Structure 1
Amino acid sequence: AYERISKPDSVVVDLSDATYIDSSALGMLLMLRDHVGGDDSDVRVVHTNSDVRKILAISNFEKLFDIS
C-alpha cells in the first residue's frame, strides 16, 4: 500500500491492534523504512503492547525506529 504514494516526510505505524508480529511484518517495516528514506527516514511505531515491543527489541528495531 505504501508504494502507491509518493515519498512522505514521516510515517506513523499504529500497532494498537497487534498482539504479535512475525518475521514477515518485521520485513515489511524494513521495506517501508527504505521506501521513506532509509537512515534519513522518520518512521514511528506507536501503541505497541509489551509482547510486540519485546519482539522489536530482540530484533534491534529500536535502533531503526522510534518505538512507543
Structure 2
Amino acid sequence: MSISSQLDQDSGQLIISVAGRFDYSLHRDFRACYEHVSVEGIQLILDLSSADYMDSSALGMMLLLKEHAEKSQAEALTIRKPSPAILKILEIANFDKLLKIEN
C-alpha cells in the first residue's frame, strides 16, 4: 500500500494516488498529501486506479478531502478510475451522488 501526490500547476491539478489497500493505515499520509497545499482554484483528483481494497475509513477520509476542497475553494474533486469493486462500494455509499467519478 502506498500513497503519493503530485501538484501540476500547469494543468491546475493536485493528483493524489492510492495503490493497494485504502484503509485507516493511510490516514496521516493521505491528509499530508493535501493539508499544506494551497488548493484554491485547482482541481483535486483522487486516483484510485491502483487501489484494490477500500474500507469505511477510506470513505471518511474522502469526505474530509471533500470538506477541505470546499473550504479551500478548490475547483473540483474527482475520483479517477476506481476498480469495479471499489466503484460498487462508492455507489452503495451514494458517493456517486456526492462526488464526480471518472471511469
Using the size of structure 1 for normalisation, the TM-score is 0.87
The residue type equivalent to 1:5 in the other structure is: V
The residue type equivalent to 2:35 in the other structure is: E
In 2, Cα distance between equivalents of 1:27 and 1:4 = 19
- Of Structure 1 and Structure 2, which has the larger fraction of its residues in helix? 1
Structure whose CA Rg is larger: 2
Structure 1 segments, 4+ long, off by >2 Å, are none
**Do residues 26 (structure 1) and 50 (structure 2) align?**
no
In 1, Cα distance between equivalents of 2:94 and 2:57 = 16
Unaligned runs of 5+ in 1: none
- Of Structure 1 and Structure 2, which has the larger fraction of its residues in strand? 2
Q: Give 3-state SS (helix, strand or coil) of 1:20's partner.
A: strand
In 2, Cα distance between equivalents of 1:67 and 1:19 = 16
In 2, Cα distance between equivalents of 1:19 and 1:60 = 19
**Do residues 6 (structure 1) and 38 (structure 2) align?**
yes
Highest relative contact order (Cα 8 Å, sep 6+), 1 or 2?
Answer: 1
- Give the CA RMSD over aligned residues: 1.6
- Deviation of the 1:8 alpha carbon: 3.4
The count of aligned residue pairs is 67
Unaligned runs of 5+ in 2: 1-31
